């Protein structure tokens, strides 16, 4: 079921048809956060193409998204590996064939799991960096001509893990630090072409696959450490997305919009439960990966 519905338009902060005639290209569009970002854009008038590896999941998400608004068009681009720029380019071309254009790009495909350094293999580290960072680069590369033609905008889905040391998240922190740097550089290089590039860095967001994997059994503990005393919602990220893509965000470029209730300011780490006892025990374990 969708997270958002027509009440997002009728009772929300944004005017109807804000994105009428616009098209979004979203990697990870069948995932928990990126799907709701796409829901918001569709409810406000946009059409979309969502990219995913799993055909069944991506097709189902596209059908569900299309039902949010009468006349909405959502293209499912499944069996696409963001690590392969040729596959992404073919996907972008198909999106243009089906929908006519690409105005907005959300680079949200990502991989994550918990692992301490001792047990994190080089292959596993590379896999996350390749999906999160190289995949983000490839996404913009594949959509560049459309972004230039339509003076479009890019949002990278980042994180706050690299603002401080978070145990068990070395691979993701390194990848997301690279994503931030990529966005900042693109903002300066592509800005003169009329293309804006920004990041959204979600904090702990409720009812997501990431939270269920990274904070099993300690979600209440995580929420209590957030200054606003709650976990974020997927709508919080959707609203940030709408702002950055809307005319209200037209002069925002090269920024990292942290949406975490202030959590990172106090060193809030999802993977920090049991520190330092658990970390020391894991690092001293004899089983490790190369």
**pLDDT attached to residue 286:** 56
Q: Which of 46, 113, 109 is nearest to 80 (CA)?
A: 109
**Read out DSSP for 142-186?**
HHHHHHHHHT-EEEEE--SGGGS--TT-HHHHHHHHHHHHHHHHH
Q: Is 289 among the catalytic positions?
A: no
280 confidence band (pLDDT: 50, 70, 90): low
* Beta carbons within 8 Å of 195's beta carbon, 6+ residues apart: 147, 148, 151, 152, 153, 154, 186
- Is the pLDDT assigned to residue 139 strictly greater than 70? yes
Model confidence pLDDT, tens digit, residues 16-37: 999 999 999 999 999 989 999 9
Model confidence pLDDT, tens digit, residues 99-109: 999 999 999 99
* Beta carbons within 8 Å of 263's beta carbon, 6+ residues apart: 160, 203, 204, 225, 226, 227
Model confidence pLDDT, tens digit, residues 74-112: 999 999 999 999 999 999 999 999 999 999 999 999 998
Q: Mean pLDDT of all residues in the chain?
A: 91
**pLDDT attached to residue 267:** 73
Specify the CATH number for 13-260+267-283; select among 3.40.50.970, 3.40.50.720, 3.40.47.10, 3.40.720.10. 3.40.50.720
**pLDDT attached to residue 94:** 98
Tally helices (H) and strands (E) across the chain: 11, 7
Cα dihedral 124, 130, 136, 139 sign = negative
**pLDDT attached to residue 222:** 81
**pLDDT attached to residue 52:** 96
pTM of the model: 0.92
Task: Choose, from 22, 35, 176, 234, the residue flagged as catalytic.
Answer: 176
Q: Is 158 among the catalytic positions?
A: yes
* Beta-bridge partners for 105: 25, 154
| H/E stretch holding 222 | helix 219-224
Cα dihedral 204, 79, 129, 150 sign = negative
Does 210 or 226 have the greater pLDDT score? 226
**pLDDT attached to residue 285:** 62
Q: Which of 133, 258, 126, 248 is nearest to 183 (CA)?
A: 133
Does 267 or 204 have the greater pLDDT score? 204
Q: Report phi then psi at 113, rounded to 5.
A: -170, 165
**pLDDT attached to residue 268:** 52
Task: Choose, from 158, 183, 197, 234, the residue flagged as catalytic.
Answer: 158
SS (H, E, C) 97-123: HHHCCCCEEEECCCCCCCCCHHHCCHH
In this prediction, residues 145-170 reach a mean pLDDT of 95
């Amino acid at each position: 079921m969708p997270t958002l519905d027509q009440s997002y338009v009728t009772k929300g902060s944004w005017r109807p048809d804000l994105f009428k005639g616009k098209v979004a290209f979203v990697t990870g569009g069948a995932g928990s956060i990126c799907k709701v970002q796409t829901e918001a854009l569709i409810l406000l008038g946009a059409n979309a193409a969502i990219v995913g590896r799993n055909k069944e999941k991506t097709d189902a998400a596209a059908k569900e998204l299309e039902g949010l608004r009468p006349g909405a068009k959502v293209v499912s681009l499944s069996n696409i590996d963001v690590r392969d720029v040729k596959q992404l380019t073919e996907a972008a071309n198909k999106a243009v064939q089906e929908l006519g254009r690409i105005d907005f790009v959300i680079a949200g495909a990502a991989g994550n799991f918990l692992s301490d350094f001792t047990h994190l293999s080089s292959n596993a580290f590379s896999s996350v960096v390749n999906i999160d960072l190289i995949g983000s680069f490839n996404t913009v590369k594949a959509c560049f001509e459309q972004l230039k033609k339509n003076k479009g905008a890019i949002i990278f889905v980042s994180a706050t893990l690299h603002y401080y040391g978070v145990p068990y998240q070395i691979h993701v922190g390194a990848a997301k630090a690279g994503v931030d740097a990529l966005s900042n550089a693109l903002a300066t290089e592509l800005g003169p072409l009329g293309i804006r590039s920004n990041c959204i860095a979600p904090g702990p967001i409720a009812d997501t696959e990431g939270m269920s994997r990274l904070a099993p059994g300690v979600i209440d503990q995580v929420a209590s450490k957030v200054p606003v005393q709650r976990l974020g919602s997927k709508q919080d990220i959707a609203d940030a997305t709408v702002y950055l893509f809307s005319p209200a965000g037209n002069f925002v470029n090269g920024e990292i919009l942290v949406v975490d209730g202030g959590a990172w300011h106090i060193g809030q780490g999802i993977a920090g439960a049991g520190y330092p006892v658990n970390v020391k025990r894991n690092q001293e374990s004899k089983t490790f990966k190369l």
